[in-house]
Amino acid sequence: MLANAKKIFLDALFPRFCLNCGKEGTMLCADCFSLIEITCFVFCPFCSRPTRLFQGGLCPKHRSRHLKGLYFAASYRDKLVKNMITRFKYQPYLKTLAPTLASLIITHFIKTKNTMIFENGENSALVPIPLYKSKKRKRGFNQSEVIGRIVAAYFQVPFLDNVLFKIKKTAPQVGLSSQERADNLKNAFAIKNPAQIAGKKIFLIDDVFTTGATMEEAAKTLEAAKARSVWGIAVARETLDGN
């Protein structure tokens, strides 16, 4: 009851308005949410122009990768999606957008009927892509962790935010080529509490998937710690061919 009273007080003091149309009530109203094209298919994450697959996974060309597939909700070229992610992870850090971004992922899994991939949470877990400690301290939160916690709670999947850590301060990925991104992230991650992931199907979760360098390096680290397989989940995917 106290929590509800606090919410009512804060909503009155700081009313929320739709980022797209300005309607009062939520960060993104139902009408504007419906404008976002939620992906109903799965694609090979490592093809520069995503290759559509009939089942989740990789195309024959990329089956040697550590990351075994990617589920993403929308295109990063969608201006509304890009605006929300930008406002969420960059100043002034609209952390209240987390439920909306998480709901895009949840809607994707419901529309594609892929919720069974989580195996009822018995042998799987969600793991957020970690930030380097100084970056997390500056932002005040890890965007992947905040989104992931909501998704994990919805699908009742264990959420492990204490197993994968970023131990190397890397340069910003923006503007780097695919190879430069991979080199930048080499040996950037480490595992703590490996017993929590051994033998499990791990789902790495992040806000945006671009070349896949971050998730691939993280998947490599998790596989070395005996994870059964590692898959990716993202709010949005950036296509690399300009289309």
pLDDT at 68 over 50: yes
pLDDT at 11 over 50: no
Domain residue limits, the chain: 1-32, 36-237
Instruction: Compute the average pLDDT of residues 183-194.
Output: 91
Tokens 């960060």 found at? 27
- Residue partners of 160: CB distance under 8 A and separation at least 6: 125, 126, 127, 193, 196, 197
Q: Is the dihedral of CA 235, 92, 99, 229 positive or negative?
A: positive
Instruction: Compute the average pLDDT of residues 85-100.
Output: 91
pLDDT at 152 over 80: yes
3-state secondary structure 160-182: CCCCEEECCCCCCCCCCCHHHHH
Res. 6 pLDDT band, cuts 50 70 90: very low
| Topology classification of domain 36-237 | Rossmann fold (3.40.50)
Res. 241 pLDDT band, cuts 50 70 90: low
Instruction: Compute the average pLDDT of residues 55-65.
Output: 90
Res. 122 pLDDT band, cuts 50 70 90: confident
